[in-house]
Amino acid sequence: MDTTTAEKLGEVDGFVVDPANHRITALRLARSRAGRLLAWERVAAFGPDAVTVEGGPKRRGGGGRASAPGPELPGRRVLTDRGRDLGPVLDVTFDPATGEVTGVVVAEEALAGERLVGVGSYAVVVTDQTG
């Protein structure tokens, strides 16, 4: 929701993560006119029922479409940097004030967000903390 115009911009349908900084960098909006990305810096407040922004998403490029976000984390395989398969991502937890990824939830455990190493087309990679 744009706080300056009270316009509904779309529905949050995913997010883009910067694994190097363990942060959400953008929200993907569905059911919006252009399938836009909304930069995290533009988020004024993030709550269970709504995300508010000031001024709406900025259009990029001549056609007004943002580039496609990276692969979604939920459902993606989680591999350690030593090759261990931990199963699929069930959920991602984050700080709604900063966008910092605080956890990656897999079947057996909740992994600390700082273990996130990379996000690729095949898998999410985390550091292996086994001996």
Task: For residue 4, tell me if it sits in a domain.
Answer: no
Task: For residue 60, tell me if it sits in a domain.
Answer: no
Residue 120 has pLDDT above 70, yes or no: yes
Clarify whether residues 116 and 82 are in a common domain.
Answer: yes
Where are the alpha helices (H) located in the chain, listed in sequence order?
A: none
Task: For residue 3, tell me if it sits in a domain.
Answer: no
Q: Put the strands of the sheet holding 110-112 in their side by side order.
A: 91-94, 101-105, 110-112
Q: What is the pLDDT of residue 33?
A: 58
- Stretch 40-46: mean pLDDT: 88
- Stretch 48-53: mean pLDDT: 87
Quote the number of domains for the chain.
2
Q: Whole domain around residue 39: which residue ranges? A: 11-53
**Chain segment 51-94, per-residue pLDDT in tens:** 898 775 555 433 233 344 455 678 889 999 999 999 999 999 99
Task: For residue 110, tell me if it sits in a domain.
Answer: yes
Task: For residue 5, tell me if it sits in a domain.
Answer: no
- Stretch 21-33: mean pLDDT: 84
Cβ atoms of residues 116 and 66 within 8 Å:
no
Least confident of 4-8, 46-50, 67-71, 112-116: 67-71
User: Helix, strand or coil for residue 82?
Assistant: coil
Task: For residue 69, tell me if it sits in a domain.
Answer: no
